[in-house]
Chain A
């Protein structure tokens, strides 16, 4: 990434305003990360992967303030049997969190893990580093360097219930940087649920190392606070015959950039990334996905759906890179938007780069309005226009939501989306 004259100033100003937790096993990795950050500089509008999303509010020294959303509905996943971990404006809340013990998994906090022998030392920042090429991800390097906390989750067996990380937002000026590290040993299984707005500005990295035959599921809902901003990264490495499935629901939020970087490094692995988002008004949502196939007979699937209205903007940048030798790759990518009016826009950049000759890769991207025939069909059965529009909106999002494997979670997401749409209808 070529640096402009302003870029080092911007980057140094941001670095100067942050302080590095200065002890323990992570120091070397954090210092490396600062070097990576300085080498590329923070993103600017002219950087290729920031063409459609203005990075300034994500990179500036102080966050724009964000009002806390008045929400009277029960938090998502409340009724589930889960292990709950709560962060308030990026600060761990021990009282609100469950005891961090669960069979088949060891859970610690980044801020408290001091031992130099810790398993995390070998992993912290490594997947993020891998994910810096060929496309630089400076906000992730910044995160690795300056994360104040996060969960270190080492999964050794099959966990009996999901871990639910709840991100509460209470301060209008909070600026949270959290870094989670998840390692699944061979054959291990874990589901992570995440929900909440987290802070006025949230920078989150999750590195996930999925061992051979292991299985990782993630379902997250980004908080509905209208003015919140978030830049999140998932970096995942998949071993042989492993499974990775991630679903993200986003409704509201003035600025969201979700990067997902996945490397399929073992044969017969499978990675699914899906997102459903509903944006109304001041809403900018960017899904940037990079999936690298570097093993034989792997499958990857990207399903992203966006419903946009009243000037909302959706962005999708999705790439499948199939390396030489990654034969029998099955890659699928679809990004679609439903534009409910002419003021909204969807910008898509699907990319395929293939160096193996025996692969099946398909991609498609569409933008469209509500299907008038379907709308008439519903109305002719007595369903009023607004309700029929909502039904078709949910119908449009369904392919993404169906990527959630667990039926109860799928139902929970669907019910919640229907309620949100219904509420807007009044």
Chain B
């Protein structure tokens, strides 16, 4: 599904190498987690994959189902099936959440040469999916993320994911700023989307999110590369011993 090979990335504006040869394969139907200390390059990886400005790929490749992601505009990557749940979802005053969702869904359908979804069908679907995430009608009407609590913003990200039905979902520290109940709700939303045809890359600092979204594979990222890969037990090891042991081990 997602194939990253020897990905090297530096900041565009300064001479600072952030990713130093990332290799990663995420298969359809699998949940991969990336853990790692602050500054290891986890969020940069998610931004580079989704096409944010400010980064320069100096070497390597990233493909989604064989399509070169790095050659596409952000909206093309989205239409190709990539989705990033933001660590800090952006507030957009004056644009209704529902309008935003419908614009996004239809833009992607259009890009794929599909028919736009009718207003009635869209409404029905969004209401059902919002209900599962305990997002009420008021939140759907309000401007995108404006005045939303941290938990509401993250639930809204998952709602977008549910509506856009991407093939590859990247969750960037979706657990940050969430209390236990909110995290459970978000995790349930994610789990409901797990399917054979869909891959997940869950970026997190802490193991606790992985109690709720059980990963198939766990990677440890440090200093711009994947330094260790293992099963779910690797996350527990981090939880118990911190990153220091692993770092010492791979050094």
A→B interface (CB under 8 Å): 371-374, 376-385, 387-388, 391-392, 394-399, 401-402
* Chain A residues near B104 (CB-CB < 8 A): 378, 381-383
Question: Which of B77, B78, B86, B111: most chain A Cβ within 10 A?
Answer: B78
* Chain A residues near B160 (CB-CB < 8 A): 381
Q: Could you tell me the distance in whole angstroms from the C-beta of B86 to the nearest C-beta in chain A? A: 7
Count of chain B residues with Cβ under 8 Å from any Cβ of A? 30
Tell me if B94 and A379 are in contact (CB < 8 A). Answer: no
A424, B29: Cα distance in complex, Å: 43
* Chain B residues near A391 (CB-CB < 8 A): 92, 95, 100, 103
Give the total number of A-B pairs whose CB atoms are below 8 A apart. 86
* Chain B residues near A387 (CB-CB < 8 A): 103, 107
A376, B52: Cα distance in complex, Å: 7
Query: What residue of chain A has the Cβ atom nearest to residue B108's Cβ?
Result: A382
Tell me if A382 and B93 are in contact (CB < 8 A). Answer: no
Task: List 5 interface pairs A-B (beta carbons < 8 Å), by A numbering.
Answer: A379-B75, A381-B108, A382-B164, A383-B103, A398-B93
Partner of A383, one of B75, B86, B90, B143: B75
Tell me if B75 and A374 are in contact (CB < 8 A). Answer: no
Encode B80-110 as 1/0 by CB contact (under 8 A) with A.
Answer: 0001101001111111000010011101100
Query: What residue of chain B has the Cβ atom nearest to residue A398's Cβ?
Result: B94
Q: What 5 A-B pairs have minimum CB-CB distances, sorted nearest first? A: A398-B94, A382-B78, A382-B108, A395-B94, A379-B74
Tell me if A382 and B95 are in contact (CB < 8 A). Answer: no
Question: Which of A371, A383, A392, A398: most chain B Cβ within 10 A?
Answer: A383
5 more A-B residue pairs beyond the given contacts A377-B90, A380-B78, A394-B94, with a C-beta to C-beta distance below 8 A:
A377-B89, A378-B100, A381-B78, A382-B107, A383-B107
* Chain B residues near A395 (CB-CB < 8 A): 92-95, 143
Known contacts A381-B104, A382-B104; is A392 also within 8 Å of B78 by CB? no
Query: What residue of chain A has the Cβ atom nearest to residue B90's Cβ?
Result: A377
A383, B104: Cα distance in complex, Å: 5
Partner of A377, one of B92, B94, B143: B92
Query: What residue of chain B has the Cβ atom nearest to residue A400's Cβ?
Result: B94
Tell me if A377 and B86 are in contact (CB < 8 A). Answer: yes
A395, B144: Cα distance in complex, Å: 10
* Chain A residues near B78 (CB-CB < 8 A): 379-382
* Chain A residues near B74 (CB-CB < 8 A): 376, 379-380
Query: What residue of chain A has the Cβ atom nearest to residue B105's Cβ?
Result: A382
- B73 close to A (CB within 8 Å): yes
* Chain B residues near A371 (CB-CB < 8 A): 90
- B50 close to A (CB within 8 Å): yes
Query: What residue of chain A has the Cβ atom nearest to residue B54's Cβ?
Result: A372
Query: What residue of chain A has the Cβ atom nearest to residue B106's Cβ?
Result: A382
A374, B91: Cα distance in complex, Å: 7
Partner of B73, one of A372, A378, A379, A396: A379
